[in-house]
Amino acid sequence: MPNESSQILPLKPTPWNITLKMVAGIAGGLLGGLIIVAIFLLSSSILQAPFQGEFEQGQLHSLFVFLFMAMIFLGVTVASLVTAWLSALSSSERYTHVNSALYQIFIFNIFFLVVAAPIYVVFARFGMSTLIYITVLHVIISAISGVCILEIMANTPYGLLGIYSGIFGVLLGTTMNVMIFKLSGGMMTFVLLSGIPIVWFSIGLLNAFIALLYHWLYRLYGIDFLRIDTNYGADVASEDERTTEEIEEETLKEKKDETGSEFLQSRGNKK
């Protein structure tokens, strides 16, 4: 068992932390979903026809594509920001750079919208079903990026734990959405409106569950394998990471090499 006094141990999530994580995912996802619903209802004269199959392949209007992109962008951005903020509140001792993380999440979503806009426009000519697949990718990338940015900005020894749990949460949420899509008989409207809440709820759920599981494994086996400073094999250490003994050994070796080279040089001069 590692010496507990010499390092920060993986924190065991309390029932309160687990509840807040799940609530954060549900609240952020629902708020993002509600924004999509609101825009969808306010723009019903433009948006409802494609979902009802009134537009055939290649007949999506450019105004519809613009409103659709704005709807998805606002939904996923708000969901990412709200979930990240509430998740930080649930573990204030872990997430200490919340404002910076929120700024970075917003900037990434702006940048990704600029990159994704031409993709939406190009694939809109293939019909609504193709546009839904692009939307699914948009939601997945936005969710994963939000989780990764929050964990990286936290700069804790267990950032990998949060990133892994976030990725598995997105996979679980995506799987659940596919199942709902199949069970609903292919109702794209229902999946579009419920997709974001389900994904973020899955992220919050697995974040708490995997943290609890990892703490249990650590207590059972004493191996802190997801800590970022755990070395596997002969990693190249920086000057700051090397110990005093390693530096002294390297200096002594260099002195021996210099002494040996001077001895060989002196023998050569005598000859």
Place of tokens 């055939």: 56
Would you tell me how many other CB atoms lie within 10 Å of the CB of residue 122?
11
DSSP alpha helix (H) spans, the chain:
15-42, 44-51, 62-90, 98-123, 128-154, 159-183, 188-221, 244-270
Are 75 and 35 contacting, i.e. CB atoms less than 8 angstroms apart?
Answer: yes
Which residues lie closer than 8 Å to 210 by C-beta, 6 or more apart? Answer: 161, 164, 165, 168
Please give the Cα distance from 43 to 58 (Å, whole number). 21
Structure tokens at 55: 């537009």
Which residues lie closer than 8 Å to 218 by C-beta, 6 or more apart? Answer: 9, 10, 224
> What pLDDT score does 106 carry?
94
> What pLDDT score does 5 carry?
36
Q: 162-194 pLDDT, tens per residue?
A: 888 889 989 998 888 888 878 877 676 676 677
Nearest to 24 by CA among 87, 78, 74, 67: 87
Please give the Cα distance from 40 to 72 (Å, whole number). 10
Phi-psi region of 244 (alpha: psi -120 to 50; beta: other; left: phi over 0): alpha
Question: C-alpha angle 172/146/109, rounded to 5°?
Answer: 120
Are 28 and 86 contacting, i.e. CB atoms less than 8 angstroms apart?
Answer: yes
Please give the Cα distance from 176 to 194 (Å, whole number). 10
Are 34 and 212 contacting, i.e. CB atoms less than 8 angstroms apart?
Answer: no
pLDDT of 1 strictly over 50: no
Structure tokens at 15: 């029932």
Please give the Cα distance from 37 to 40 (Å, whole number). 5
Point out the least confidently predicted range of 108-112, 150-154, 184-188, 219-223: 184-188
Structure tokens at 125: 């000519």
What residue ranges do the domains of the chain occupy? 11-221, 237-271
- Confidence class of residue 7 from pLDDT cuts 50, 70 and 90? very low
Structure tokens at 178: 């596919």
Where is mean pLDDT largest: 44-48, 69-73, 123-127, 209-213? 69-73
Structure tokens at 138: 């948009």
Structure tokens at 59: 């007949």
- pTM for the whole structure: 0.73
Which residues lie closer than 8 Å to 88 by C-beta, 6 or more apart? Answer: 95, 98, 101, 150
> What pLDDT score does 134 carry?
87
- Confidence class of residue 2 from pLDDT cuts 50, 70 and 90? very low
